[in-house]
């Protein structure tokens, strides 16, 4: 990874990880609240909804990464684990959400000119891999609430944790401007993608046909 030099993105030696976190902190907080409102894990039905939301959002992300990302930036697939957990809960498999577009963000697409698929893959992989850290904390809560009886193949995935550890070495280095901008925009697009899925679920929950009807 090219180091940041004078005139490079941010004008400092901040790591790519620090830049990605700063660029997405608001989106991350917004998504955490939206996911909790749309699902949660206080009951078995809540947990099934949480897993269904994860499946619906992750399926198109995994498809985009598999089709576009370099092999070393393709995180381990987690939709098979989600399928296993949902089956164990006797919950239906949800439909996938619309295809993922790394350029579709809430902000102005001003960075389109510098878009590079490898940079986008790096940002998308960072979000998915980093979520494994939060999943471990959720797994502990699920174990307590479900008395250890609820399936946690997805939340306890060791393969994704291993991928995260290998990715850390890469993102804890400074990055050139184009790489930092492209990765940040794609990361923002991933958060926006998850947020749209959560918002659709909240709307469905309020209708007679909704998940919790």
182-191 pLDDT, tens digit per residue, is: 999 999 999 9
Domain range for residue 134? 43-94+114-205
Q: Minimal CA–CA distance to 97: which of 63, 138, 48, 70?
A: 63
37-89 pLDDT, tens digit per residue, is: 777 788 999 999 999 999 999 999 999 999 999 999 999 999 999 999 999 99
Residue 8 counted as domain residue: no
CA atoms within 13 A on the CB side of 159: 10
What is the total count of domains within the chain? 1
Residue 104 counted as domain residue: no
Residue 158 counted as domain residue: yes
Residue 80 counted as domain residue: yes
Residue 132 counted as domain residue: yes
Q: What was the pLDDT predicted at 20? A: 94
If you average pLDDT over every residue of the chain, what do you get?
84
Model's pTM, two decimal places? 0.84
How many other β-carbons are positioned within 10 Å of the β-carbon of residue 12? 11
| CATH number of 176's domain | 1.20.910.10
Buried b (16+ CB within 10 A) or exposed e, 104-136: ebeeeeebeeebebebbbbbbbbbbbbbbeebe
């Amino acid at each position: 990874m090219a180091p940041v030099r004078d005139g490079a993105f941010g004008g400092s030696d901040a790591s790519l990880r620090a830049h990605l976190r700063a660029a997405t902190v608001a989106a991350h907080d917004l998504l955490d609240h939206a996911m909790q409102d749309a699902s949660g894990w206080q009951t078995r039905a809540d947990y099934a909804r949480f897993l269904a939301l994860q499946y619906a959002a992750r399926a198109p992300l995994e498809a985009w990464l598999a089709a576009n990302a370099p092999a070393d930036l393709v995180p381990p697939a987690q939709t098979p684990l989600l399928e296993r957990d949902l089956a164990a809960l006797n919950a239906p498999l949800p439909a996938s959400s619309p295809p993922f577009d790394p350029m579709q963000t809430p902000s102005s697409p001003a960075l389109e000119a510098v878009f590079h698929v490898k940079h986008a893959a790096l940002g998308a992989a960072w979000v998915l891999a980093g979520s494994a850290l939060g999943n471990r904390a959720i797994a502990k809560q699920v174990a307590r609430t479900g008395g250890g009886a609820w399936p946690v193949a997805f939340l306890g995935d060791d393969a994704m944790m291993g991928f995260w550890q290998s990715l850390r070495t890469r993102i804890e280095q400074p990055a050139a401007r184009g790489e930092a901008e492209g990765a940040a925009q794609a990361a923002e697009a991933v958060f926006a993608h998850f947020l749209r899925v959560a918002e659709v679920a909240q709307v469905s929950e309020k209708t007679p046909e909704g998940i919790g009807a």
